[in-house]
Amino acid sequence: MGTAIIFSLVSILAVFALVSSLKNRNVLGIIFSLGTVGVFGFFSVMTFIFSGYPE
């Protein structure tokens, strides 16, 4: 479960990177941060759904 918590923290940081890339109009940064949010966010949400919240 610790891995899912770490991956959710990574996805939160990727959201901040996405906002920063949008402000600077950095296309490559937008692409990579969208990919990171999509992959790590999906993994985190699915882990929380199927395994539940940590106790």
Tally of CB atoms within 10 A around 14: 21
Domain boundaries, the chain: 2-51
**From CA 40, how far away is CA 12, in angstroms rounded?**
9
Quote the pTM value.
0.83
Tally of CB atoms within 10 A around 47: 16
Mean pLDDT of 11-19: 96
Per residue in 26-53, pLDDT (tens digit) is 999 999 999 999 999 999 999 888 887 6
Give, as one character, the DSSP assignment of residue 13. H
C-alpha distance from residue 16 to each of 5, 10, 11, 12, 22 (Å): 17, 10, 9, 7, 10
